[in-house]
Structure 1
């Protein structure tokens, strides 16, 4: 078995074991979103989520066979809202906020199960942040 196949097999095994894949930090750039519409609140529990750029998405420790869109939510919700300068309440007529930032995360954990789960990470630091803009309701 070649080295690439061995690494891929180990990565896949860890994914299915539900283990944290990136204890140490990952530096990523992309878009963050905090959605306040009822459907998003039910699915995401009020967490801020991050959609890495195509280049940053390649840094995520996911199995090569994982073809899902690369995105994850921050489990430290109060701290992530503070670091990303997200207002406490959405403006009337809007359904949340979005912006761009470079982030440092730890404990990136891919969702290994079936269904509507999502990957998670802990937000540690933020730089190059844009002012959060309101999200329209759909």
Structure 2
């Protein structure tokens, strides 16, 4: 019986960690962030603030050469990211969210290597600089 338990635990742990890899060190990244508040975006991405690193700093992201996906990830702690980026707690009256430029330090970068709707995530360690949030115009 112990072999069955050990095998079951190993399968569960493998299932939890499969398709995920983690960056070994902290990274300083520059780029743009977005937080969409429209119904369709919230349904697809959820309540997440996501970052799109610029080409130069994006080279730090731990991706395989065969991974051709766009470089982007979401911060793992929405409330903390919203607060330190000064993103209003309420959606804009006219618009579908907020965006701005930023430079941040992130850690615990987790790559989603599965073919599913999940996305990469990273823990926001520190905001080095950021623009005041601008309202994102809604697309027709």
| Shorter-normalised TM range | 0.7 to 0.9
Instruction: State the number of aligned residues.
Output: 123
TM-score by length of 2: 0.83
Conserved in 1, the CA contact under 8 Å of 2:49 and 2:81?
Answer: yes
Report SS of the residue matched to 2:108.
strand
* Residue in 1 that maps onto 2:64: 63
Q: Which residue of 2 aligns with 1:80?
A: 81
Taking the aligned partners of 1:43 and 1:122, their CA distance within structure 2 comes to 21
Q: Which segment drifts farther, 28-37 or 39-48?
A: 39-48
Q: CA RMSD in A?
A: 1.4
Q: Tell me, what secondary structure is at the counterpart of 1:115?
A: coil
Question: Structure 2: which 5+ runs fail to align?
Answer: 1-16
* Ranges in structure 1 where 5+ consecutive residues have no aligned partner: 1-15
Counterparts of 1:3-82 in structure 2, within 5 Å, are 17-82=18-83
Q: TM-score of the superposition, structure 1-length normalised?
A: 0.84
Conserved 8 A contact 2:21-2:112? no
The list of structure 1 runs, each at least 4 consecutive aligned residues, that deviate by more than 4 angstroms after superposition, is: none
Shift of 1:64: 0.9
* Counterparts of 2:120 and 2:54, CA distance in 1: 16
Equivalent in the alignment of 2:129: 128
Local SS of the residue matching 2:96: strand
